[in-house]
Chains A and B, each alone.
Chain A
Amino acid sequence: MARLTEKTVDPASEAGYVDHPRRMGFFTDTSVCIGCKACEVACKEWNAIPEDSGPLTGMSYDNTAGLGANTWRHVAFIEQRKPMAYQEPGVDHRDIDGLALAEQGFSVSEAAEEFRWLMASDVCKHCTHAACLDVCPTGSLFRTEFGTVVVQEDICNGCGYCVPACPYGVIDRRADDGRAWKCTLCYDRLGVGQEPACAKACPTESIQFGPLDELRERAARRVEQLRADGVTDARLYGADPDDGVGGDGAFFLLLDEPEVYGLPPDPVVTTRDLSAMWRRAGAAALLAVAGAVAAFALGGSR
């Protein structure tokens, strides 16, 4: 589809808004996430999302496991035997629990160098080219004037098409209510000039909310700074308007490969191939007619 080849797409204008506000989004800088889950809680509280906690998962401190109909912010916890690339001397605890650690058979320096804990708060990406929105047959999913993607719950008939269409595994159907739910980027709060609940609650500014172009600039500076400081793993994810979804409205700074966090390394909006799919289906339909004609023309004694 031609529109996908254009470099900078403004989704709100593309959706037909004329005089619309700037495109708003999230920049989630996971390098400063402390895993407090304030975002998860604030999101649940503000959006009145039903409780969905099951038994403990055993996945580090993560007991929500992933995004879904009832989890719109999800904090991932990854424990790795990898050295932390860079550490502020001020957060070094070696003089505090050195004895205790030594008793456990660890040399302090080893323990400090060979462990890192990655935390990252995941959310709907509010894609520039959003598959969920494209495939929604009712028009329930729509593009807001802020360039975000929102479900209208009074329209959704629960067909479930958006669920496997999303390349990030974000949107899902609630079993009890039958409709699809996901992050709205707090559409109700944006409308009155408030920032989304998760960003408001984040104590370390790991979740930053603002006009997307500003966030992208800030993120570029941040990743540069981190790399200069020796955090060579630092990279941006979803910030590139040339990627398979035209760039994310909610993008991230990660410290490892995306799939380590459960994110797809090279997501593509499925509808990018849709015109080719329709052409193929058309050819198959024609072939069906030809086959039927042949079936009668070939005849046969009986």
Chain B
Amino acid sequence: MSVLNVTRKRRRGRRGEQPMVPDAEFSSYYGKPVINSPVWSVPDVPGYLFLGGLAGLSSLLAAGSDLTGRDALGKVGKLGAFGAGVLSLVGLVHDLGRPMRFLHMLRVLKVTSPMSVGSWLLSGYVPLAGVAAATTVTGRLPRIGALATAGSALLGPAVAAYTATLLSDTAVPAWHDGYREMPFVFVGSGATAAGGLGLLAAPIAQMSPARNLALLGVGLELAMFRRMRTRLGMVAEAYDTGKAAKYVKAGQALSALGAVGAVVGRRNRIACALSGVALLAASAATRWGVFHAGMISSEDPKYTVVPQRERIRKRRGDKEF
């Protein structure tokens, strides 16, 4: 008869840096999660986030290169955009419970479903990126190639940004509650990756826009990530836990390393390439970190219950005074 009181009450540890949420006791049903965890798998989904960002920003880099006569950098951007776009689509389809039914995505267009919007976006974007890449490689149909490059540069930013909405439009606390900053983190991360690809594969004489893009990306990503964590309050803990913490930290370290390397080693081809690899890896690590933080925050009921309790408490307080 000793285990009658099974309703788990837990006390959160004191965390001086988070005054937003006071120590909270909370109840749960045998410590079971309140929401169901995403059934999305690794590497499909974090890979899809990473590749979407890489593709979208690479298209911008390619269009800029064409406009400024950097054909080698343009080629890298177009090939990178198409390759990443295709792979990201493959990740999306492979993760479906019924991959053969992918085309059901195109039965309807629903703005309330970022997955629907994204499927349509990718269905338009990937062929455009393909035409842009093919015309550059073959040198044929330059006019059509220019149009396709412009088209993919138009859709590219949307491809890079919508995946943030896709994650945020769920009940997963670490994703939903970060919806204000997440698109900026993702776009920044995409710029880091696309710039990294340019540093890795473009000739050194045409590299500077890629370096600039990567530096801007790293800056945006780090700044917005910080802001997101502040806003998340106690939910930010999910980003400091387990696998999420490892990937997030790795992402930040690689970003810093790649950025410094890209500047200091700018005259050295090998240093540039290594920096590019670090930046690509940084972008991927950030996506993996965000993905795992979501998983962690959905598996532990405290991330759902404590902020919701706090919301109720505030609402009641507002009414009383």
B91-117 residues with Cβ-Cβ distance < 8 A to A are 95-99, 101-102, 104-105, 107-108, 110-116
Interface string of A257-282 (1 = CB under 8 A from B): 10111111111001101101110111
A131 CA to B170 CA, complexed, in Å: 8
Q: In the complex the two chains form, is A138's CB within 8 Å of B107's CB?
A: yes
- A286 to B: closest C-beta gap in Å: 7
A287-302 residues with Cβ-Cβ distance < 8 A to B are 287-289, 291-296, 298-302
Query: Counting CB contacts under 8 A, is A137 at the interface?
Result: yes
Contact of B171 among A164, A178, A256, A259 (CB under 8 A): A164
A261 CA to B32 CA, complexed, in Å: 10
Binds B, one of A23-31, A42-50, A74-82, A222-230: A74-82
A209 CA to B273 CA, complexed, in Å: 66
A87 CA to B99 CA, complexed, in Å: 56
A262 CA to B209 CA, complexed, in Å: 52
A171 CA to B171 CA, complexed, in Å: 12
- B312 to A: closest C-beta gap in Å: 5
Most buried by A among B60, B101, B156, B210: B101
- B65 to A: closest C-beta gap in Å: 8
Q: In the complex the two chains form, is A262's CB within 8 Å of B29's CB?
A: yes
CB neighbours (8 Å) of B30 from chain A are 57, 59, 262
Interface string of B177-206 (1 = CB under 8 A from A): 001101110110011000100000000110
Interface string of B244-273 (1 = CB under 8 A from A): 000000000000000000000011000000
Query: Counting CB contacts under 8 A, is B280 at the interface?
Result: no
Q: In the complex the two chains form, is B113's CB within 8 Å of A134's CB?
A: yes
- B318 to A: closest C-beta gap in Å: 14
B132-172 residues with Cβ-Cβ distance < 8 A to A are 156-158, 160-162, 164-165, 168-172
How many chain B residues sit at the interface, stated as a range, is 35 or more
Known contacts A140-B104, A164-B171; is A280 also within 8 Å of B180 by CB? Answer: yes
- B179 to A: closest C-beta gap in Å: 5
CB neighbours (8 Å) of B162 from chain A are 281
Contact of B305 among A164, A256, A259, A283 (CB under 8 A): A259
A202 CA to B279 CA, complexed, in Å: 60
Contact of B97 among A135, A158, A270, A296 (CB under 8 A): A158
Q: In the complex the two chains form, is A137's CB within 8 Å of B212's CB?
A: no
Q: In the complex the two chains form, is A179's CB within 8 Å of B39's CB?
A: no
- B146 to A: closest C-beta gap in Å: 17
A166 CA to B170 CA, complexed, in Å: 7
A100 CA to B15 CA, complexed, in Å: 49
Known contacts A79-B6, A292-B64; is A265 also within 8 Å of B305 by CB? Answer: yes
Binds B, one of A60-68, A89-97, A189-197: A60-68
Query: Counting CB contacts under 8 A, is A145 at the interface?
Result: no
CB neighbours (8 Å) of B230 from chain A are none
Binds A, one of B81-89, B213-221, B233-241, B282-290: B213-221
Query: Counting CB contacts under 8 A, is A56 at the interface?
Result: no
Total interface residues in chain A, CB < 8 Å: 83
Q: In the complex the two chains form, is B308's CB within 8 Å of A277's CB?
A: no
- B57 to A: closest C-beta gap in Å: 6
Query: Counting CB contacts under 8 A, is A159 at the interface?
Result: yes
Known contacts A80-B5, A259-B28, A288-B56; is A167 also within 8 Å of B171 by CB? Answer: yes
Contact of A131 among B32, B171, B309 (CB under 8 A): B171
Most buried by B among A78, A160, A285, A292: A292
Interface string of A124-156 (1 = CB under 8 A from B): 000000010011111110000000000000011
Q: In the complex the two chains form, is A293's CB within 8 Å of B115's CB?
A: no
- A285 to B: closest C-beta gap in Å: 4
A165 CA to B298 CA, complexed, in Å: 11
CB neighbours (8 Å) of A140 from chain B are 104
A260 CA to B25 CA, complexed, in Å: 12
CB neighbours (8 Å) of B95 from chain A are 159-160
Query: Counting CB contacts under 8 A, is B211 at the interface?
Result: yes
A160 CA to B169 CA, complexed, in Å: 13
Interface string of A230-269 (1 = CB under 8 A from B): 0000000000000000000000000011011111111100
A38 CA to B309 CA, complexed, in Å: 33
B21-67 residues with Cβ-Cβ distance < 8 A to A are 26-30, 32-40, 56-57, 60-61, 63-64, 67
Most buried by B among A65, A137, A280: A137
Query: Counting CB contacts under 8 A, is A168 at the interface?
Result: yes
A301 CA to B207 CA, complexed, in Å: 9
Q: In the complex the two chains form, is A291's CB within 8 Å of B98's CB?
A: no
A143 CA to B197 CA, complexed, in Å: 46
Q: Which residue of A lies closest to B30 (CB)?
A: A59
Contact of B169 among A57, A65, A81, A270 (CB under 8 A): A270
Q: What are 17 A-B interface contacts by the 8 Å CB criterion?
A: A79-B5, A80-B7, A138-B108, A138-B116, A157-B98, A158-B97, A163-B36, A164-B170, A178-B96, A178-B98, A260-B27, A265-B309, A266-B308, A266-B311, A283-B184, A284-B157, A300-B208
Given contacts A164-B298, A273-B176, 19 further A-B contacts (CB under 8 A): A137-B108, A138-B116, A156-B104, A158-B97, A163-B37, A165-B170, A166-B35, A174-B97, A259-B301, A260-B27, A264-B308, A265-B308, A277-B165, A278-B165, A280-B165, A280-B180, A284-B187, A285-B187, A300-B208
- Top 6 nearest A-B pairs by Cβ distance? A158-B97, A178-B97, A262-B29, A300-B208, A284-B183, A157-B101
